[in-house]
Amino acid sequence: QVQVAESGGGLAQFGGSLRLSCAASGSILGIYAMGWYRQAPGKQRELVAMITSIGNTNYADSVKGRFTIFRDGLKNTVYLQMNSLKPEDTAVYYCHVGAYPNYWGQGTQVTVSS
């Protein structure tokens, strides 16, 4: 049974920091990337950051320079370090495991107060 377990969401103040963690376990074949998406109320889910199995990263323009994604490949764990948080970062953050098939976490709420 595959599990995608997220943690680290919560409440932060403007300019603060949070770190999200996502651990994938179970029979997952061919993980080629892991990443984070987010969905704010009334908006579509969007890519925040992604890291491939060889360490290439991709960030949304809105988080470049503030967020950093990194992973522990041996443990199938990915982290998202979020600094200089803004109220517009408020959303439910979802971990995505790019594999065959893909998997999603249940989501973790991040709320940034002004």
What mean pLDDT do residues 57-64 have? 98
Q: What percent of the chain has pLDDT over 90?
A: 87
Beta bridge partners, 59, equal 49
pLDDT at 2 over 80: yes
The β-bridge relationship of strands 10-13 and 108-113 is parallel
pLDDT at 94 over 80: yes
How far does the chain reach from its first CA to its final CA, in angstroms? 41
